[in-house]
Structure 1
C-alpha cells in the first residue's frame, strides 16, 4: 500500500458551484493543471463508469522532467463514482516506462458545506513512490488555489 496525500481549501461558493467545477471539462482545464503546466483531454467522459485521458505539459520541464515524456505527464483516469454535490472518486494511472510511477492512485475530491462556502478536500491514496511527496503537495495545493481563483474571480 502506498502513501496517502491530502489537502483542503475553503472556496467561497456553493457546493453546487464547486461540484460543477470538478466535473465540467472546460472548468477542469482552467484550474486543474498545476502552475507551470497546461492541460488537454484526449477524451472526456465524466460520469460514474466513465473515463478520461489527461495530458499535462510543462511550460519548462528543465527542473521537473515529465513522467511520460521529457515535458509531459499523461494519465488514464477511470471515474469510479460521481455523487452530485458531494464527491468525485477516480483511479489514476500514469503512462510511464518508469516503474516508480506504476500503480493505481485513487483520488477522491470531497465537498462539504462550510461557513462561508464549501470545503474542498482532496485525498490521494496509493500514490506511486516516484511521485515525490513535496512535489505532489505543491501540485495539489496549486490546483486548489487555482480552483478558488476560478470560482472566485
Structure 2
C-alpha cells in the first residue's frame, strides 16, 4: 500500500524567498540534507521536466548505511511542477540495489502565506517501504528546520 509522510513549519520569510531557496542550487546543498548528512548537487536544471541529482553523504555511516553505498544516498529528482511562489512538486528516485527502495516518491512543497511568514507543508507520497517512516518524517522536519535557518538568515 502506498504511504504518505508529512511535515510542516512556519518560516519567518515571504513565500517568494522560500520558493527561491527551493530552486537555488547552492542553497539547496546547504539546507536540504538532514542533520547528520552533507549534500552535493551533481546536475542542476531548475525547470518543469528538469531536475537535479543529489549525493547525500552520512557524516557517520556506522549506524546509517546508505542506499547507494556504505555512506551515501543518491537521489535523482525531477521537477514535475513549479508554481511560483506557491508550490514545487518533485519526483524522486533513489539509486539502490535493494528493491524496497525502488519506485518514484513524489514530494510536494506547498507554500502558504501566514501572519508569521510562510507555512511550508511537505507531503511525500508513494514513499518506498524501505524508508522508515519515523526516520523519514524526522528527516523532513530537519530539512525544514535547516530551510528556516537558511531563509531567515538571508532575509
| TM above 0.5 | yes
Is 1:55 aligned to 2:45, yes or no?
no
Shift of 1:102: 0.2
CA drift at 1:93: 0.5
Structure 2 Cα separation of the partners of residues 47 and 84 of structure 1: 11
Residue 21 of structure 2 is aligned to residue 27 of structure 1? no
Shift of 1:144: 0.3
- Please tell me whether residue 130 in structure 1 is matched to residue 135 in structure 2: no
Look up the match of 2:67. 67
Aligned residues, how many? 153
What's the CA shift string for 1:21-67, capped at 9, x where partnerless? 11110111110000111111110111111021110000001111001
Match of 2:85 in 1: 85
> Is the partner of 2:67 in helix, strand or coil?
coil
1:77, distance to aligned residue in structure 2 (A): 0.9
Give the aligned CA root-mean-square deviation in angstroms. Answer: 0.8
Taking structure 1 as the reference length, the TM-score comes to 0.98
The 4+ residue runs of structure 1 with deviation greater than 4 A are none
What does residue 118 of structure 1 align with?
118
TM-score, length basis structure 2? 0.96
Unaligned runs of 5+ in 2: none
Deviation of residue 78 (structure 1)?
1.1
What displacement does 1:81 show? Answer: 0.7
**Any gaps of 5 or more consecutive residues in structure 1?**
none
